[in-house]
Amino acid sequence: MHSKSKQRGISFIGLLFVGGILAMTGVIAAQAFPTVIEYMAIEKAAQRASAGQSVVEVRAIFDKQAEVDTIKSITGKDLEVSKEGDKVVVAFAYQREIHLAGPAFLTLKYAGRSK
């Protein structure tokens, strides 16, 4: 006598759906990763620029570092330079857009400041 055993697992359509979701996530992550690397370079450049004594000097130091690290999202003009006590503080904020499909974009907003 044979008893019917129930099959368990994922159907082919389910597998295609999950695979499609994973592929889309991978593509978005691959496009977002360089923006994270650039953010870290901007953070490092802002930290170096905070050694400057004037706004002009801070922006010049940042722009030189931006050239070395190929930073394209912001320039020295976009920095907010202030003083807290005797310390120069360099702050920045910007956003990057990643085109998804048709009219859809993923907007990434980055902000930071020197320590």
| Domain boundary assignment for the chain | 12-113
Residue with tokens 């496009």: 31
Sign for the CA dihedral angle at 46, 42, 92, 75 comes to positive
Global model pTM greater than 0.85 = no
- pLDDT at residue number 13: 92
- pLDDT at residue number 5: 66
User: What's the average model confidence in pLDDT over 54-65?
Assistant: 95
Average pLDDT taken over every residue of the chain? 92
Count other Cβ atoms within 10 Å, centred on residue 40. Answer: 11
**Using one digit for the tens of pLDDT, what is the confidence trace for 71-111?**
999 999 999 999 998 899 999 999 999 998 899 999 999 99
The CA distance from 115 to 108, in Å, is 23
